[in-house]
Structure 1
Amino acid sequence: MQIKAVNIRIPLLALAGIAVSAQLYAVQAHTIDVDQLTVAVQSEGEGDSSSSSASHGHGHGAPPQPRETVGATDQSMLHAEEVHLRNIRQLTFGNFKDDPQIAAANYAEAYWAPDGRSLILQAAVNEFPCDQVFRLDLLTGALELISSGEGRVTCSYYTADMQHYIYSSTEFNNGPECPPTPDFSRGYVWPVYESYDIYLADINTGEVLENLTDNPGYDAEGTIDWNSGWLYYASKQHDDIDVYRYNMNTQERERLTDAYGYDGGPFINYDGTKIVYRRSMFKDQAEEDDYRALLADNLIRPGVLELWVMDSDGSNKRELTNDGAANFAPYLHPDNDTVVYCSNRHAPDGRNFDVYMLKLSQPEMEPVRITWDEEFDGFPMFSPDGKYLVWCANRNGSVTGETNVFIAEWVD
Structure 2
Amino acid sequence: MQTIQNATQTNERKVTSLLECLDVKNGERKVLAVFDQLIEAPNWTQDGQSLIYNSGGLLYSFELATGTSNAIDSGYANQCNNDHVLSPDRNQIAVSHHSKEDGQSRIYIFPFEGGHPTLITALAPSYLHGWSPDGQTLAYCAERKGQYDIYTIPAAGGVETQLTDTAGLDDGPEYSPDGRHIWFNSTRSGLMQLWRMNADGSEQTQMTFDESNSWFPHVSPDGESVAYLTYRKDDVAPNDHPANKNVEIRIMPIHGGEYRTLAELFGGQGTINVNSWSPDSTKLAFVSYRLGE
| Deviation, structure 1 residue 360 | 3.5
Q: What residue is the counterpart of 1:376 in the other structure?
A: 267
Matched, 1:392 2:287: yes
The C-alpha deviation readout for 1:255-294, integer Å capped at 9, x for no partner, is 11111221111111222222211112365xxxxxxxxxxx
Whether the 8 Å contact between 2:106 and 2:126 is mirrored in structure 1 is yes
The C-alpha deviation readout for 1:111-139, integer Å capped at 9, x for no partner, is 12222222221124xxxxxx322222223
Matched, 1:92 2:33: yes
Q: 1:152 to 1:383 in 2, by over 3 A?
A: closer
More RCO (CA 8 Å, sep 6+)? 2
Matched, 1:241 2:151: no
TM-score by length of 2: 0.78
Q: What residue is the counterpart of 1:349 in the other structure?
A: 235
The C-alpha deviation readout for 1:302-350, integer Å capped at 9, x for no partner, is xx421111122212211112334321121112343321110024x6426
Q: What residue is the counterpart of 2:209 in the other structure?
A: 322
Whether the 8 Å contact between 2:133 and 2:175 is mirrored in structure 1 is no
Q: What residue is the counterpart of 1:337 in the other structure?
A: 224
Gaps of 5+ in 1: 1-68, 96-104, 125-130, 180-194, 284-303, 402-412
Larger Rg over CA atoms: 1
Q: What residue is the counterpart of 2:242 in the other structure?
A: none
SS of the counterpart of 2:246?
A: coil
Which of these residues, 203, 210, 214, is aligned with residue 112 of structure 2?
A: 203
Correspondence list, 1:102-113, <5 A: 105-113=37-45
Q: 1:244 to 1:400 in 2, by over 3 A?
A: same
Whether the 8 Å contact between 2:99 and 2:106 is mirrored in structure 1 is no
Matched, 1:230 2:125: no
Matched, 1:212 2:138: no
Correspondence list, 1:181-192, <5 A: none
Equivalents in 1 of 2:231, 2:168: separation in Å?
Answer: 21
Gaps of 5+ in 2: 1-15, 237-244
Identity of aligned residues (%): 21
Matched, 1:277 2:184: yes
* Matched residue type, 2:69: L
SS of the counterpart of 1:372?
A: strand
| Deviation, structure 1 residue 250 | 7.5
Equivalents in 2 of 1:84, 1:229: separation in Å?
Answer: 36
Whether the 8 Å contact between 2:91 and 2:112 is mirrored in structure 1 is yes
Q: 1:372 to 1:261 in 2, by over 3 A?
A: closer
* Moved >6 Å (runs of 4+): none
The C-alpha deviation readout for 1:206-263, integer Å capped at 9, x for no partner, is 311x210001x31013321232421111111133111111122584532111112211
Name the count of aligned residue pairs.
Answer: 263
Which of these residues, 23, 42, 46, is aligned with residue 114 of structure 1?
A: 46
Q: 1:139 to 1:272 in 2, by over 3 A?
A: farther
Equivalents in 2 of 1:340, 1:205: separation in Å?
Answer: 29
Q: 1:250 to 1:171 in 2, by over 3 A?
A: closer
SS of the counterpart of 1:120?
A: strand
Q: What residue is the counterpart of 1:136 in the other structure?
A: 62
Q: What residue is the counterpart of 1:66 in the other structure?
A: none
Q: 1:70 to 1:318 in 2, by over 3 A?
A: closer
SS of the counterpart of 1:172?
A: coil
| Deviation, structure 1 residue 352 | 0.9
Equivalents in 1 of 2:171, 2:185: separation in Å?
Answer: 6
* Matched residue type, 1:276: W
Equivalents in 2 of 1:200, 1:250: separation in Å?
Answer: 10
Equivalents in 2 of 1:173, 1:89: separation in Å?
Answer: 41
Whether the 8 Å contact between 2:217 and 2:227 is mirrored in structure 1 is yes
Q: 1:219 to 1:250 in 2, by over 3 A?
A: closer
Q: What residue is the counterpart of 1:11 in the other structure?
A: none
Equivalents in 1 of 2:204, 2:279: separation in Å?
Answer: 25
SS of the counterpart of 1:371?
A: strand
SS of the counterpart of 1:390?
A: strand
Whether the 8 Å contact between 1:166 and 1:200 is mirrored in structure 2 is yes
Q: What residue is the counterpart of 1:15 in the other structure?
A: none
Whether the 8 Å contact between 1:228 and 1:272 is mirrored in structure 2 is no
Equivalents in 2 of 1:153, 1:333: separation in Å?
Answer: 23
Q: 1:70 to 1:112 in 2, by over 3 A?
A: closer
Equivalents in 1 of 2:25, 2:78: separation in Å?
Answer: 41
Equivalents in 2 of 1:281, 1:309: separation in Å?
Answer: 13
- What CA RMSD, in Å, does the superposition of the two structures yield over aligned residues? 3.1
Richer in helix (by share):
1
Whether the 8 Å contact between 1:166 and 1:222 is mirrored in structure 2 is no
Q: What residue is the counterpart of 1:98 in the other structure?
A: none
Equivalents in 2 of 1:264, 1:227: separation in Å?
Answer: 22
Matched, 1:268 2:164: no
Matched, 1:164 2:71: no
Equivalents in 1 of 2:248, 2:53: separation in Å?
Answer: 19
SS of the counterpart of 2:100?
A: helix
